[in-house]
Structure formats: C-alpha cells, structure tokens
Copies of this chain bind each other. A is one copy, B any other.
Amino acid sequence: MHQTTIIDIAKALCISKSTVSRALTGHPNVNAKTRDRILDMAAQVDYQRNQLAISLLTNRTSTVGIMVPEFISFFFPKVIIGAQEELARSGYNVVICHSNESYETEVANAKALLASRIDGLIVSHTKETRNFDHFRSFQRKGIPVVFFNRVCEDMDVSKVTVDDYHGAFQAVEHLIQTGRRRIAHLSGPDTLMNSRSRLAGYHDALTKHGLPIAPELIISYDLNLDKANIYVNHLLNLPNPPDALFTINDPTALEALSVAKRRGLCVPDELAIVGFSDDPVSALIEPGLTTVSQPVHELGQQAAQVLLRQLLTEDNTFVAERVVLPTKLIIRGSTVQTSTNSY
C-alpha cells in the first residue's frame, strides 16, 4: 500500500514538489492561491508527512526514549506521565520501553533505541545491571542520558532521585521514637544505589540513637515478592525477633503485613512496619501502611526538564546536573495505633 507523498500532490496539481513542500511547511514564498490549492488537496487525500524522511534529513527525531524496569507498579507509569507531559510541551514524542528487570532486554532495548535515533534517553536501570556500557554508547554519540530513581554512580550524566537516605533515616527514627528497639530492614539488591542509600539511612538512624546494628536483622533480597514472605517469616522466627520492620518498598511492606496477619501478630503493637513510596494501596488497607512518600510525578517532570536543558545546549558546554527531591514520612496505623477503626 502506497502512502500519499508530496510528489503525488505535486503531480495532481501539475506543480513541483518543492512548492508543495514549501506550502506544507508554511514557507512564506508561496502564492496564496497555490498554497490554498495545495492545502486543500493535502486534506482531501489525507496526506500525512513521512517523519522518517524528515528525521533522516535533519538528523533529529524529536523523540525521547524512556526505559524503565517494569510498569506494573504505580511508580514508573506515574513518572513516565510526568516526563511525557513536560516533553510534549517542548514538542518531543516519547517511546516507552520496559526492560522487565532483565539486563539482556535492557541492552537489546538500548540498541533498538540507538538504531531508531532517539534524541535523548531517560532511564532507570534493572536490578541486574552492573555493566553500563550500553548507556555509555549514547554518551559517546552525543545523545544525552538522564538517570532517575535507579542511577549509575560511575557515569558522568545527569541524575534525578529522591533523598533516599534521608527518607530512610526519618522512617527509622520514627520507629525509634515510638519505642521500637529491634528494627529489621528488608533491603533491596546492592546493585541499586537507592537501596544502598536507604540502607545507609537505616544504619545511621540506629547509630545516632545509640542502637546497635544487628546484622541478623538486615536482609538484602532481589525484590522478587514471592520471596519476601520467606524472609519476613525468617525474621519473625528468630529467637529474638524484631519489633519493627523497615522495607525497601511498599509491596514488600504489604507482603510483610500480610505475613504478620497470618501469624496472628498485632500490627503495630507487636510488629511495626514502614514501607517506601506511598503506593496508593497503602492508604486503603487496614491498618494503613506508614511509608516514605516520594514526589513521583515531579520526578518525571524534573528528569524531562534536565534532559530538555541539555537538548537545548548547542555546544558541549552542558554539565551534568544532580537533582534530589525531598521525601515525606506518612504515618499510618502500621506504626501508630489509630484511635478508631473506621469500619
């Protein structure tokens, strides 16, 4: 099937394709009457410009790639929407990829994005990623890269995150201030910098308040939810079990809450639980989940803005930016007994 081109329009009107091109792009030097005839004909044949040809010519696609490890949780879709709104405002299209937490898929996606000549990349890497050469390719070719959420420390590119360290610190301090003394931490894989930052915050909060670091209370896991309940049960089976649990994210905390319920444990009295990210579910369940909320939409906006600034910088004078957004502790029933049960 043949899509109508400017040549088709030119032939139909017995004029040159240059004139058609000029009329269609709004060039001033076109006779008003011929312009109208061209525009009419274009509408009549439902002409759509071939972006491929234009991109090949201009060496710009006006397309930005966004790659995330998954988009089943609320988090990444919301970031994507924030970024997309911002990019659309500046005339950029977006292609979304998800690596499905697989390093190989991530590399394959990166190659495909490179081949499709995107103008920039916004990315949060997989939990498996240790080698970042596939992202360095973009840098070498002069295509701006912005990391968000899960960032690569070793690359000199812009990075947008929340203050994971402080969020975790606050969460643990809240547990200490409400009387907990044996606080466990179900952490993420150490490939993720945000996981390491949250662990550091946990660590320092305990230290600040003179509590010992108990290695048996710190478990790092691969975020595979099926395993979360194994680890929670393991912690609760310890001879000296924890009285509180701080988890890497909300899904893990919800899993822990469910395990606690099944074991007949009273939350928050016997076990307090704090998550991270303020998943919408956390406000709906009972007891509500205390959690560290992050400005998710803004995360996407900021990532897009940083990228746009770099895209607008003609020469190579752009220096990588580092944006850190604030977190906020949301206190709910999983750490503090609520006065009334609304049900």
Chain A residues proximal to chain B, CB less than 8 Å: 1, 3, 46, 48-53, 55-56, 59, 61, 71-72, 74, 77-78, 80-81, 84, 93, 95-96, 98, 100, 111-112, 114-117, 137, 140-143, 254, 258, 261-262, 280-281, 284-286, 342-343
Number of copies: 2
- Name which residue of chain B comes closest to A1, CB basis: B142
- The answer to whether A343 and B261 have CB atoms under 8 Å apart is yes
Contacts of A81 in B (CB 8 A): 71-72, 98, 100
Complex Cα distance, B280 from A254, in Å, reads 12
A71 in contact with B77 given A141-B1, A261-B342, A285-B284 (CB within 8 Å): yes
The 4 A-B residue pairs with the shortest CB-CB distance, nearest first, are: A1-B142, A51-B115, A48-B114, A96-B96
Contacts of A141 in B (CB 8 A): 1, 3, 46, 48
Contacts of A77 in B (CB 8 A): 71-72, 77
- The answer to whether B48 and A342 have CB atoms under 8 Å apart is no
State the majority secondary structure of interface residues on A: mixed
- Name which residue of chain B comes closest to A51, CB basis: B115
Contact of A284 among B56, B78, B93, B254 (CB under 8 A): B254
Can you show 7 pairs from A to B with CB atoms below 8 A apart? A84-B98, A96-B96, A281-B281, A285-B285, A285-B286, A286-B286, A286-B343
Tell me the smallest distance from the CB of A279 to a CB of chain B, in Å: 10
- The answer to whether B98 and A95 have CB atoms under 8 Å apart is no
Contacts of A52 in B (CB 8 A): 52, 55-56, 61, 116-117
Complex Cα distance, B189 from A249, in Å, reads 36
